[in-house]
Structure 1
Amino acid sequence: MAEKTNTTVRLFGNLHTLRRERGLPPVAEVFLPEEGMAAIDLANKLDLPLDRIEGVFCNHLAYGLDHRLHPGDEVAFIPTGVPGPHRFMLGIHAAGKGHLKSSD
């Protein structure tokens, strides 16, 4: 029996391309345990190369890969290669330094 899913993960940029090359959709349906899972562990579970990931968007905020994801979160991995100005506007720069992007 297939594992139930409770969270949708979106992949963009080079991660989208990688999934397509592997014959997989750029959107993954996964199961996260109630206690959550670190984004880095989810990336490993999805067999994503860590050197191609800068962080993770969780519920519209950028975080580092140590951020804990929970069932039902809106998740998207941030690929490497996002242009400079966008890195600051989206909070990617701060997430890479372990700082949460401010929502204000």
Structure 2
Amino acid sequence: MTARMIELNLDDQDVADGTGLSKDTIRAYRRLPEARPTAENAAAVAKALRWTTDQLLHGTDVEVSADDKADYGDEASLDDAIDRVKAIVAAGCNTTPRRVSVTITII
């Protein structure tokens, strides 16, 4: 987060102004590993940094190929698509996790 702020020439107050959060909250997110933003706050900070929430929270982004953007009309196809997303996430972990949980939010 700090590196991205430097890249964009932003300080804590700039990010606070862009998110509606306090400067102290932004500083805590940057400096304290135990500071965990809510989903809403993470989305606001990511937007202010022109990042996705994946980039903010995990330092990476999930890439979606043209094949993944196909029209999934039936339940079986949707299950296949979800399984592919889970495989992408598991591969990004560089390990085989026991369980991968995927939440999809449509805005």
For the aligned pair, the TM-score class normalised by the smaller chain equals: under 0.3
| Structure (1/2) with the larger helix percentage | 2
TM-score if structure 2 supplies the norm length? 0.27
